[in-house]
Amino acid sequence: MSNPAQKALNEIPEIEFYNKLDDDDVDDDDAPDNNNIDHYLKNCVECYPSDYIKKYVRQLVRNYDNYKVHLRKKSHDKYCRFFIYWLYKSKKMKFSEHDTHLRNQWNKCIPCVWNQLEDNAYNQIKKCNFKNENISFGVTQVQKALEEICSIKEKLKNDSKENSNIEECSKINEIKQYYLKHILYYIGSISSNSSWKNEYFKVDNTCSLINIYDFLQEKPCPTESNSKRGNSTRMSNTDM
C-alpha cells in the first residue's frame, strides 16, 4: 500500500534528502573518483575491497558529500538520523544477514569508511554516530515512521470542532490509519530475542512511540450536513 502522506513528506527537506540516497544515476562530475574510494578502503585493513563493496562505498561517499552541505543547519540531527535509517536499510537489503560473506564485508568495511568520512568532515558541531548495531530492521522502520509522523503532524490536525471539511478529515484519518498499521506491523516483526530499549523508540522529547500513539487515533469526521452548516457559518461570518 502506498503512503497516503507521500505528498506532504516530499515537502520535508530531510526526507527529500533521504529519498535521493538510493539514486544510482550519478553524473560523472558528481561521482567520487576511484582513487578517493581506494584511499578510504586502504585504511580499513580488515576490509576486502570487492567490486560490490567498491560500488556501495562510491555511493556512500557521494551521499556523504551531499550530507555535508547540511552540517551547519539547525536540523543537522534530523539529516543525520535519516542518513542512518538509510544505512540500516542498505545493511538489510544489500548485505543480508542470510549471506554471511556479504554481512562480514559490511561489518569490516562500511563502519570503517563511515568513521573516516566523519573524521575528514571536521565536523565540530556534532558527530553523526552510526553504531552499526545488530538491531532488528523493524526497530529502524518504527523509528523512521515516528520521524515522518512528527515531521507532518501539524498538517494532520483534524479536530472535528475546527475541521468541517469531510474530504480533508477523511484523508487525515487515512494517513493516521496507515501509520498505525505500519508501526504495529513492524513492532510485531521484532524478534523476542532482539534487544528492546526505550531509546530506540524516542526521536526526541516531543516525538516518541509513547506520545504519538494517542495522536494517531482517528477523529470522527463531520457529516455532510454538518459540513455544509459549517461552511455556511463561515461564509456568514465573512459577510458580516
Instruction: Check residue 50 and give left, alpha or beta (phi > 0: left; psi -120 to 50: alpha).
Output: beta
193 shares its domain with 141: yes
- The pLDDT assigned to 92 comes to 96
Q: Is 210 a domain residue?
A: yes
Say if residue 107 is in the same domain as residue 166.
no
How many domains in the chain? 2
Q: What is the pLDDT of residue 227?
A: 47
Domain finish residue from 59, 90, 120: 120
Instruction: Count the alpha carbons within 13 Å of 21 in the hemisphere toward its beta carbon.
Output: 26
Q: What's the whole-number mean pLDDT along residues 66-77?
A: 92
Q: Is residue 200 domain-resident?
A: yes
Query: What are the C-alpha distances in Å from 200 to residues 124, 146, 209?
Result: 25, 11, 9
Residue 235's pLDDT is 41
- Can you tell me the distance from the alpha carbon of 105 to that of 226, in angstroms, rounded to the nearest whole number? 61
Residue 160, pLDDT score: 44
229 and 142 within one domain: yes
**Is residue 43 in a domain?**
yes
CA quadruple 88, 71, 63, 34: dihedral sign: negative
For the chain, percent of residues with pLDDT exceeding 90: 59
Q: Is residue 175 part of a domain?
A: yes
Same domain, 107 and 152: no
Answer positive or negative: Cα dihedral of 120, 122, 128, 132.
positive
The answer to the question of residue 132 being in a domain is no
Task: Judge if 85 and 170 occupy the same domain.
Answer: no
- Mean pLDDT of all residues in the chain? 85
pLDDT at 205: 85
Kindly state whether residue 92 falls inside one of the protein's structural domains: yes
Whether 173 and 230 share a structural domain: yes
pLDDT of 221 above 50? yes
Other beta carbons within 10 angstroms of residue 20's beta carbon come to 11
Domain with 148, as residue range(s), is 137-239
CA 228 and chain centroid, separation: 39
Q: What is the pLDDT of residue 197?
A: 78
Name the residue with higher pLDDT: 39 or 29.
39
Query: 191: pLDDT confidence band, cut at 50, 70 and 90?
Result: confident
Q: Is the pLDDT of residue 34 over 90?
A: no
What mean pLDDT is predicted for residues 76-80?
95
Q: How confident is the model at residue 200 (pLDDT cuts 50, 70, 90)?
A: confident
Average pLDDT over residues 120-141: 86
Burial (CB < 10 A; 0-12, 13-18, 19+), residue 98, is exposed
The answer on 200 and 102 residing in a single domain is: no
